[in-house]
Amino acid sequence: MEFKNNILEQIGNTPLIKLNKINKGLKPKIFAKLESANPGGSVKDRIGLAMIEDAEKRGELKPGGTIIEATSGNTGIGLALTAAVKGYKCIFVVTDKVSQEKINYLKALGAEVIVVSRFVDPDDPEYYVNVAKRLHKEIPNSFFAYQYSNPSNPEMHYRTTGPELWRQTDGKITHFISSIGTGGTISGTGRFLKEKNPNIQVIAADPLGSIFKHYKETGELIKGTPYLVEGIGQDCLPANVHFQYIDKIYNISDKESFAAARKLTLEEGIFCGGSTGAIVNVALQVAKDCSEDDVIVFIVCDTGERYLSKMHNEEWLRQNRMLDPEIRVLRDLSDL
Ligand code: PMP
């Protein structure tokens, strides 16, 4: 018989998928690292497992315990998946920006979900992270995963995502393109790849309105402005963003991100969300200056299914002026 002992053994070892159409006219090979193929449908299954198992080892998470997290949904799904197998309770604090699909998914996995306003500053007690911290203080036998500074997050990518990319490309990877939410994916994977070959370029997509690009280039912290892409960019600096492993950051607008995500879906059949769209946009821009010998790998952060009522819904796109003017958006992308 051939089987896995439980669903958690299905996490990681995701495939690389070669792009064949949307990169027409560009010289390098470009591969999608299909993190959407994880059992919970996102790159965050890896850290859900790691944060729980490391907390168990440290004795911070005990039988009957409750896991608390502030999440844009995917880390919650990753934690809830491991918690379902291991028998922990979960409480997640999300903002009202998070798609209903993700909230329903969290509830289907048995989690309690608290939705708070997205329009509060990080120093406000009602900021989603502060609400999670408060719950952790109030609830006995609880563990606050805190993906923004928990070292298990980048460490898991250093241990798994980085080595997978090195092995899958026979060490030929020249550019790694990702995003920055907590910073875990880019910091851990970037560190591993740079230790193998310091010439590998580690590049991030940052939504217009987020603070990372400006901070990297000037050292100055600005106030963020709202944007629609979920799961990436911030209005404060998480400890898990290790800028020393990031060579360059591009700002990408909502419109560009959604257009690129839709193009990746429509032409390559890789069904993804808006953060992946931002990353693909950057991958194609970077590829313009590359040669035939270059090998670009980008992260597919999650599946498009969790945005069917939002960025994969034409009515929602129209209401949010994301199709306006539609022709121009599509032309922008093929101009790259
Ligand atoms: N895309 C989506 C949809 C996410 O939810 C996240 C995590 N918040 C990311 C990208 C970024 O990953 P990381 O937290 O590892 O920087």
Give mean pLDDT in consecutive 10-residue pieces for the chain, a chain of 336 residues: 98 98 97 98 98 98 97 97 98 96 97 96 94 98 98 98 98 98 98 98 98 97 94 94 98 96 97 98 98 98 97 94 63 55
64 Cα: distance to centroid of ligand 1 (angstroms): 28
334 Cα: distance to centroid of ligand 1 (angstroms): 26
Q: Would you say 91 and 68 are in contact if contact means Cβ atoms under 8 Å apart? A: yes
Q: Relative to the CA of 47, which ligand 1 atom is closest?
A: 15
Question: What is the pLDDT, as a whole number, of residue 323?
Answer: 84
Q: Note the pTM of the prediction, 2 decimals.
A: 0.95
Question: What is the pLDDT, as a whole number, of residue 327?
Answer: 44
Task: List the Cα angle 103/108/111 in 5-degree steps.
Answer: 70
The burial of 135, by beta-carbon neighbours within 10 Å (0-12 exposed, 13-18 middle, 19 or more buried), is given as buried
Which tokens belong to 77? Answer: 């799904």
Q: Would you say 272 and 229 are in contact if contact means Cβ atoms under 8 Å apart? A: no
185-210 burial, b if ≥16 CB within 10 A, otherwise e? bbbbbbbbbbeeeeebbbbbbbbbbb
For tokens 């999300």, name the residue.
Answer: 94
Q: Would you say 94 and 114 are in contact if contact means Cβ atoms under 8 Å apart? A: yes
Question: What is the pLDDT, as a whole number, of residue 105?
Answer: 97
Q: Is the CB of 182 under 6 A from ligand 1?
A: yes
Q: Is the CB of 275 under 6 A from ligand 1?
A: yes
Q: Is the CB of 276 under 6 A from ligand 1?
A: no
Q: Relative to the CA of 183, which ligand 1 atom is closest?
A: 16
**Which of 51, 182, 189, 242 for mutating ligand 1's site (highest number of atoms within 8 Å of CB)?**
182
Question: What is the pLDDT, as a whole number, of residue 325?
Answer: 60
Q: Relative to the CA of 73, which ligand 1 atom is closest?
A: 5
The burial of 310, by beta-carbon neighbours within 10 Å (0-12 exposed, 13-18 middle, 19 or more buried), is given as buried
Q: What are phi and psi of 157, to 5 degrees?
A: -70, -35
What are the DSSP E strand ranges found in 129-259? 142-144, 175-179, 201-207, 248-252
Determine whether 44 is an active site residue: yes
276 Cα: distance to centroid of ligand 1 (angstroms): 9
Question: What is the pLDDT, as a whole number, of residue 196?
Answer: 98
If one counts every other C-beta atom within 10 angstroms of the C-beta of residue 133, the result is: 17
Cis peptide before 226 (omega within 30 of 0): no
Closest Cα to atom 3 of ligand 1: 231
**How do residues 247-274 score in pLDDT, each as one tens digit?**
999 999 999 999 999 999 999 999 999 9
